[in-house]
Amino acid sequence: MSGRTFNVAIAGATGAVGEVMIELLEERNFPVKNLRLLASERSKGRRLKFRGEEIPVEVLTKDSFSGIDIALFSAGASRSREFAPAAVDAGAVVVDNSSAFRMDPDVPLVVPEINADAIGNHKGIIANPNCTTIITIMPLKPLHDYGRVKRVVASSYQAVSGAGAKAMEELRKQVEDFVAGRDLKIEVFPKQIAFNLIPRIDTVQDNFYTREEMKMVNETRKIMGDDSIRITCTTVRVPVFRAHAISVNVETEKKISREKAMELIDAFPGCTVMDDPANDVYPDPLFASGKDDCYVGRIREDESIENGINYWVVGDQLRKGAALNAIQIAEVLIEKYL
């Protein structure tokens, strides 16, 4: 990177993902010249710390991007649709964490460990995949490379952070009210989330799958570059703060033993195998929270089909599921293409 530095903007800087983006730019020594923090009118006047400095939050407008080299967006799909083109027009490359452009054929959808090369095809915007999709497919990729994945059946256990900072606050508040014997307030989620499960994330499509579920189907194929992979899934919100877990059943063309699967997954960058369940070695969301890797355990041959593997993967939703993956994309971008 030879001492070059870049002007970076974060759109959605005060959100749960935006705050982790700031944290990671500092932690990973990203070569930031100037950092511009953008958010909605609501957050005007706030100041956020970066490298010991207090940076004022500015209001996100179409004029926010002059001089910006890299714009990291995490302000929701409608704001991305509204403001990302302006950032591109101003000369920035956008890494967008929303669903707005993910399935656009002109927009690369990237998990750097899986398809970093796609970054080179960008036309101004690079999309960051859905959090649950990223975490699910990190261990899937080495299995696919070795044995070709034919079909995936996944059930998710998704933390409240995926619904934003207010959702995290709602879980915290509901638990406080529960302990105090007060009535629980339901505002962000459609039902109480404390001590409960909500088997609907995002809106419901005509085929009765949710958008969250169809993201996993469609984004997985695009990132893996293989439309023949068949996928079905059920996505569920659980009362956990910030790491997602997914129970994944995989059918492959070629037989993969448990030992081979463990070896393949552990050798894959960004994945760590934790798998000695008899001694309580398996990943759990509390363990994975605040960490960068996807942790994989409960790897077992599935005896119900000829070539099957089950695994359980846990990853921090705010890091690898969102902010970290976006910044890894930006790192490849500056190293190879800027």
For binding to its own copies (CB under 8 A), which residues are involved?
A: 151-153, 155, 157, 171, 175-176, 178-180, 190-192, 195-200, 203-204, 207-210, 230-232, 234, 236, 238-241, 245, 247, 249, 258, 277-278, 280, 282-286, 297-305, 308, 310, 312, 314
3-class SS at 300? strand
Alpha helices in 16-151 (DSSP H): 16-27, 77-89, 112-115, 131-137, 140-147
Q: Are strands 32-39 and 6-11 parallel, antiparallel or unpaired?
A: parallel
The yes-or-no answer on residue 271 being catalytic is: no
Nearest to 187 by CA among 203, 204, 172, 199: 172
What tokens does 209 get? 């799958």
Task: Report yes or no: 72 and 10 within 8 Å, Cβ to Cβ.
Answer: yes
The yes-or-no answer on residue 244 being catalytic is: yes
Our CB check for its own copies shows the closer of 127 and 140 to be: 140
Our CB check for its own copies shows the closer of 166 and 200 to be: 200
Task: Report yes or no: 76 and 68 within 8 Å, Cβ to Cβ.
Answer: no
For the CB of residue 303, give the shortest distance to its own copies in the complex, in Å.
7
Catalytic: which of 122, 144, 233, 244?
244
Q: Report how far residue 84's alpha carbon sits from residue 61's, in angstroms, rounded to the nearest whole number.
A: 10
Our CB check for its own copies shows the closer of 82 and 202 to be: 202
| CA-atom Rg of the chain in angstroms | 20
Our CB check for its own copies shows the closer of 57 and 299 to be: 299
Q: Report how far residue 16's alpha carbon sits from residue 42's, in angstroms, rounded to the nearest whole number.
A: 15
Residues 6+ apart with CB under 8 A from 85: none
For the CB of residue 310, give the shortest distance to its own copies in the complex, in Å.
6
Our CB check for its own copies shows the closer of 25 and 171 to be: 171
Our CB check for its own copies shows the closer of 58 and 177 to be: 177
For the CB of residue 46, give the shortest distance to its own copies in the complex, in Å.
26
What tokens does 138 get? 């990190």
For the CB of residue 256, give the shortest distance to its own copies in the complex, in Å.
14
Task: Report yes or no: 130 and 111 within 8 Å, Cβ to Cβ.
Answer: no
Strand order in the sheet with 271-273: 230-234, 149-157, 243-252, 308-316, 294-301, 271-273
Catalytic: which of 131, 233, 271, 294?
131
- Determine phi and psi for 281, rounding to 5 degrees: -100, 105
For the CB of residue 230, give the shortest distance to its own copies in the complex, in Å.
4
What tokens does 107 get? 């927009």
**CA torsion angle for 23, 24, 26, 29 (degrees, to 10)?**
170
For the CB of residue 242, give the shortest distance to its own copies in the complex, in Å.
9
Q: Which residues are catalytic?
A: 131, 244
